[in-house]
Amino acid sequence: MKIQAKNKSELMKASLGFIDSDLVITNIQLVNVITGEIYPAHVYVYDGMIAHVETKDFNQLKAKEVFDGQGKYLIPGFIDAHVHIESSMMTPANFAKAVLPFGTTTVVTDPHEIANVCGKEGVYYMHDIGNDLPMRQLIDIPSCVPAVLGLENSGAVFTAKEVEELSHLERCSGLAEVMDYVGVIDQEERMMDILNVMEEKGLYIQGHAPCVLGRELSTYLCGGANTCHEVEVGEEALEKLRNGMFVDACDSSIVKNVNAIIQGIKNNITLYDYLCLCTDDREADEITTKGHINDVVRNAIRNGLDPIIAIKCATLNTAREIHIENLGAIAPSYVADMLLVDDLYEVVPSAVFYGGKLVAENGKMVVDIQTKDYPLEHKNTMFVKELSEDDFVIKTEIENGKVKVNVVEYESMNSSNTILVQKEFDVMNHVVQLNDPNLKFAAVINRHENHDTMTLAIVKDFGTKCGALASTIAHDSHNLVIVYDTPKNALLAANALKVCGGGICAVKDNEILHTLELPLAGLMSLKEAKDLIVDSKKMKEAINQLGLVDIHNPLLRIVTLCLPVVPYVKISDLGLIDVINKKIIPLFV
Amino acid sequence: MKIQAKNKSELMKASLGFIDSDLVITNIQLVNVITGEIYPAHVYVYDGMIAHVETKDFNQLKAKEVFDGQGKYLIPGFIDAHVHIESSMMTPANFAKAVLPFGTTTVVTDPHEIANVCGKEGVYYMHDIGNDLPMRQLIDIPSCVPAVLGLENSGAVFTAKEVEELSHLERCSGLAEVMDYVGVIDQEERMMDILNVMEEKGLYIQGHAPCVLGRELSTYLCGGANTCHEVEVGEEALEKLRNGMFVDACDSSIVKNVNAIIQGIKNNITLYDYLCLCTDDREADEITTKGHINDVVRNAIRNGLDPIIAIKCATLNTAREIHIENLGAIAPSYVADMLLVDDLYEVVPSAVFYGGKLVAENGKMVVDIQTKDYPLEHKNTMFVKELSEDDFVIKTEIENGKVKVNVVEYESMNSSNTILVQKEFDVMNHVVQLNDPNLKFAAVINRHENHDTMTLAIVKDFGTKCGALASTIAHDSHNLVIVYDTPKNALLAANALKVCGGGICAVKDNEILHTLELPLAGLMSLKEAKDLIVDSKKMKEAINQLGLVDIHNPLLRIVTLCLPVVPYVKISDLGLIDVINKKIIPLFV
């Protein structure tokens, strides 16, 4: 696939010098990721494409505008191999504003969060808003909506039919992370149908195969997906690369894998063609303070990767991974996404060109981003039934006495893994009583149209000491999840989120401490990074006040409690979920 | 584009070990062109595809057949990035028999020789016969039939319509060498229409841009083609690689470019992703004695390229160049084209696997090749009118006296370049007389259906001292070309080739010395390599008897005399051609 020039004939004339180019960037050291060289050059741009790279005649400038590169390095614009924009909690437009100054000119985005809430409408929104942005937001079509069929009700179900329909989007780049690797290895119908429809179209298929190795890895690869961003260990990276899998080494706000991957492969391999870089989920705060893909590149270099190779991993290699021929390098007929950097080890861009236009300079945007008005940005997606305190009370047939309950227990404060334990509780007047400060009630309430399913459960070692913590970010179905001490606190939190369209809310002693409003699909704020950071900082402080303190990021504790692809037991709107055996477990033993 | 498994579901089961694979190749050192490593492995094959590469469990063999690799290196099957099978003078089937023992399992072939004679029928033949062969003969659709429109009549004219129609062939790999680079740079309609139709389909576009550099190179690249096999000089290779052009370094029977290219780039570049290897035109004799792509790989290594990189240039890099994802490496889901070699520097395969089947061992085919009967193989394509001696006499209006003639003079014995000189000749009874033993008459007679055009001319320093040399290989329109001393000799040669369906014929003193019969389109013999070599040796000896001796390959002297894309003046059936200015020159000044 090539990104087509708007007018090829005119581009060719500009190449030849028959007409002036729009821009020439002079006085630069070109970093050539195709040959591994660095040399002086002038780069001509016409209508968003590179028309010519001049390495000899530096005197005759045939362009309307001249940009003096001041002897800096010119490198291709960075490509994020896998990202969920929703995880930044920003709209695609505000996300663009946040990451462009760091040199991310292209993202391969998987809008599966919003797809689980808003279905196709959500994907269309994420795609269409990209039309107005000075960055390339490519759309991988979500493959697993919901993550596991039958164990949860999300806002949409994507079969091969929906996936095929969405693949016609102009900026569709492929199929997004095929998370249901068990479904692939077992050749379950839904996954095979989706894989086959996209493979027939010749589109690339993004994988997601944590710890899948050996014969299972071979099976997964033969299924059609050939990338993985879930690699955490060097040995796993080596095996996947050897087997022809693209490894998208990830430094997200949740995991930092680049260190281990580079350390684990650099003494073995000499060719890095299949290594790419990604951020997956990175919050506004971390983007603003550390950077985006350029931070991942920097980390790879610090771990011993040659700077040109590291830059190639975030440019040309990724373009190849996603089958785009004329992206990721600085050469004639390539798109003119380029960065000027002073230092190849720090990779902080002093100028960012997207499609040949200067969009950011010295860490600041220099163009305004104006987008259309999208109705979805003003739609309340909280279709939660009228709730009462009574809805949050776990009742049993026993009037008074004891009852044995299946409890979801967190393995540790640093893990999303949860195990099943059985505990005995007092029952008073049919109501189950908590008897340990490390135990809390949990409710998962379906918040999507045409569903009113709801589950109550008990969790252990979640981390809060008191109050209620509620969230509409609850991967991947994004139902309303609340961990709480009293029904009253729970109801307060639930209603606060219903009114504002979703978000995260902390309640203590019948008082709302803070609500991080995420009105766009209950996932994203409409605020820009700088304001969102203030808001999210307040939210973290409020969560700290609930006693959840010994944790890297308190915002992320609750968001995986419903995710039925993380071991071993989760909660959905349909009940307790045995993840490994893909079945629903009763609350009472 | 992926080469699809016949039954993906079964392949996945074999990967998983649920069902037995067809074959396991054990006890090998796997050369991994993705990571640049060499390590022990067992490779499982199912239904032509690699099902699994085992690097740990070497005991449990889950396959119907075990092949002991005896500790040798297992490398991917070689891919020839650009070849005209017709130039081997063998049918595609005999070509396969000749090259498979040397490890060429895939060729990207441009059937533009036969297309110029037989049109679409010729391309269909070259494609369809490939269905029965144990090698992957991919078809690039000829882009320049004829080479230059309006200056010659060939057997067919391909416009965008014909090219588009042929692009639906199952094994169509892209658009073949876009030779009319002047037409591209000038944006002539025929070339732009053809480029655009293939670019829209996302197919790769093979280039051909000898000495095209600087802004013209940029223009050509923006036009859509991004490969070149015409690079002869290191500096040119470097500029093309830097500009994102694939360089298909070529060692053909005509030119040997690999030496200069590797020497010219190896001290500059560190990344070889865009370097590929090809043979373009290699005769049966050279294939049999030296090898095929493996000989080019060996030459690259002798010039200093690391063996793994050299192998990658003839496998994975080429697969990428032609947009095939699962070819050119040994990994699950890749096609099972593999070679066992004892020595990574000599790269002589002791076993050749095509689609997981052993097809050659120790330099010999071990499978029979049976093809269907193709009518084209029995069709005489020599549609030459009834000729008489008189047709070969150059006449003028002057009865007796002098006349000034535009003469085609060869620059040297080692060059196909010809220049225009003007010479004075005696005229006797209206007939032009030759006055120098270095001068010969030349005739170009259209041999295609519905044409009866013919040109007479005079050539200087062609090399023959006497007799007539005739050929129906006459790039690219492949008309009947004869260089001769007397009309009688010329007529004898012409008639000999008419009868046998074409070929090369030498006549001396009214006697046929030898005819190399090429009945298939006047381009190819039906003989296998071993017999063809005997025949072509006799032909060379016969040409030597005409006095053409100081030349590397006497067969090739005549074949470029009509090629209107080689400087500076050529002869076609329509007249003398001014190549640079694309116009016809009169014979008489």
Helix (H, G, I), strand (E, B) or coil at B225: coil
pLDDT band at residue A565 using 50, 70 and 90 as cut-offs:
confident
CA distance between the termini of chain B = 56
* Contacting residues of B for A16, CB less than 8 Å apart: 185, 215-216, 218-219
Average pLDDT over residues B352-362: 98
User: Are A55 and B274 a contacting pair at CB < 8 A?
Assistant: no
Of the candidates B1, B52, B270, the beta carbon closest to that of A202 is on: B1
pLDDT band at residue A414 using 50, 70 and 90 as cut-offs:
confident
DSSP assignment string, B457-514:
EEEES-S--SSEEEES--TTTT-EEEEESSHHHHHHHHHHHHHHTSEEEEEETTEEEE
pLDDT at B535: 97
Q: Closest chain B residue to A32 measured between Cα atoms?
A: B242
Q: What are phi and psi of A343, to 5 degrees?
A: -135, 120
Rounded to the nearest angstrom, the minimum Cα separation between A377 and chain B is 36
User: Are B16 and A271 a contacting pair at CB < 8 A?
Assistant: no
What's the mean pLDDT when you consider all of chain A?
Answer: 96
Closest CA to A111 of A80, A142, A132: A142
User: Are A222 and B5 a contacting pair at CB < 8 A?
Assistant: yes
Of the candidates A36, A221, A331, the beta carbon closest to that of B332 is on: A221
**How far is the C-alpha of A383 from the C-alpha of A153, rounded, in Å?**
13
Residue B458 reports pLDDT greater than 90? yes
Q: What are phi and psi of B475, to 5 degrees?
A: -55, 145
Residue A511, strand partner residues: A508
Q: Are A108 and A126 in contact (CB under 8 A)?
A: no
Rounded to the nearest angstrom, the minimum Cα separation between B200 and chain A is 9
pLDDT at B414: 82
**How far is the C-alpha of A560 from the C-alpha of A546, rounded, in Å?**
18
Greater confidence, A438 or B550? A438
pLDDT at B435: 87
DSSP 8-state secondary structure symbol assigned to residue B252: -
Of the candidates A196, A222, A332, the beta carbon closest to that of B244 is on: A332
CB-based burial label for A368 (10 Å; 0-12, 13-18, 19+): exposed
Residue A552 reports pLDDT greater than 90? no
Closest CA to B372 of B127, B168, B119, B165: B127
Greater confidence, A351 or A57? A351
DSSP 8-state secondary structure symbol assigned to residue B59: S
**How far is the C-alpha of A491 from the C-alpha of A486, rounded, in Å?**
9
Closest CA to A184 of A224, A140, A230: A224
Closest CA to A81 of A242, A257, A308: A257
pLDDT band at residue A168 using 50, 70 and 90 as cut-offs:
very high
Rounded to the nearest angstrom, the minimum Cα separation between B171 and chain A is 15
Among A114-128, A486-500, A555-569, B516-530, which stretch is predicted with the lowest mean pLDDT? A555-569
Residue B333 reports pLDDT greater than 90? yes
* Contacting residues of A for B218, CB less than 8 Å apart: 15-16, 51-53, 332-333
Of the candidates A36, A215, A326, the beta carbon closest to that of B17 is on: A215
- Condensed to tens digits (0 to 9), the pLDDT of residues B128-146 reads 999 999 999 999 999 999 9
pLDDT at B148: 83
Tokens of A554: 């308190």
User: Are B32 and A242 a contacting pair at CB < 8 A?
Assistant: yes
* Contacting residues of A for B199, CB less than 8 Å apart: 2, 4
pLDDT at B415: 85
In total, the C-beta contacts within 8 angstroms joining chain A to chain B are: 177
- Condensed to tens digits (0 to 9), the pLDDT of residues B198-235 reads 999 999 999 999 999 999 999 999 999 999 999 999 99
User: Are B268 and A185 a contacting pair at CB < 8 A?
Assistant: no
Rounded to the nearest angstrom, the minimum Cα separation between B374 and chain A is 32
Percent of chain B with pLDDT over 90: 93
Rounded to the nearest angstrom, the minimum Cα separation between A180 and chain B is 16
User: Are B221 and A333 a contacting pair at CB < 8 A?
Assistant: yes
Percent of chain A with pLDDT over 90: 93
Q: Are B153 and B573 in contact (CB under 8 A)?
A: yes
* Contacting residues of B for A213, CB less than 8 Å apart: none
* Contacting residues of B for A267, CB less than 8 Å apart: none
CA A307 to chain CA mean position, Å: 25
Residue B585 reports pLDDT greater than 90? yes
- Condensed to tens digits (0 to 9), the pLDDT of residues B49-68 reads 999 999 998 888 889 999 99
User: What is the ipTM metric for this complex?
Assistant: 0.95
Q: Are A562 and A571 in contact (CB under 8 A)?
A: yes
Average pLDDT over residues A109-114: 98
Rounded to the nearest angstrom, the minimum Cα separation between B266 and chain A is 10
Rounded to the nearest angstrom, the minimum Cα separation between B174 and chain A is 13
Q: Are B147 and B560 in contact (CB under 8 A)?
A: no
**How far is the C-alpha of A372 from the C-alpha of A395, rounded, in Å?**
49
The predicted model scores a pTM of: 0.95
Q: Report the 3 state secondary structure along A484-550.
A: ECCHHHHHHHHHHHHHHCCEEEEEECCEEEEEEECCECCCECCCCHHHHHHHHHHHHHHHHHCCCCC
Q: Closest chain A residue to B269 measured between Cα atoms?
A: A35
**How far is the C-alpha of A332 from the C-alpha of A311, rounded, in Å?**
19
User: Are A34 and B226 a contacting pair at CB < 8 A?
Assistant: no
Residue A556 reports pLDDT greater than 90? no
* Contacting residues of A for B2, CB less than 8 Å apart: 199, 202
* Contacting residues of B for A307, CB less than 8 Å apart: none
What's the mean pLDDT when you consider all of chain B?
Answer: 96
- Condensed to tens digits (0 to 9), the pLDDT of residues A280-317 reads 999 999 999 999 999 999 999 999 999 999 999 999 99
Of the candidates A222, A273, A320, the beta carbon closest to that of B51 is on: A222
pLDDT at A566: 86
Average pLDDT over residues B385-399: 96
pLDDT at A57: 86
- Condensed to tens digits (0 to 9), the pLDDT of residues A416-444 reads 899 999 999 999 999 999 989 999 999 99
pLDDT at B580: 86
User: Are A51 and B312 a contacting pair at CB < 8 A?
Assistant: no
Residue B149 reports pLDDT greater than 90? no
A271, A276, A311, A315: best mutation site toward chain B, by most B Cβ within 10 Å? Answer: A271
A1, A7, A12: best mutation site toward chain B, by most B Cβ within 10 Å? Answer: A12
- Condensed to tens digits (0 to 9), the pLDDT of residues A219-242 reads 999 999 999 999 999 999 999 999
User: Are B35 and A187 a contacting pair at CB < 8 A?
Assistant: no
**How far is the C-alpha of A195 from the C-alpha of A224, rounded, in Å?**
7
Q: Are B504 and B518 in contact (CB under 8 A)?
A: yes
Residue A69 reports pLDDT greater than 90? yes
Rounded to the nearest angstrom, the minimum Cα separation between B494 and chain A is 46
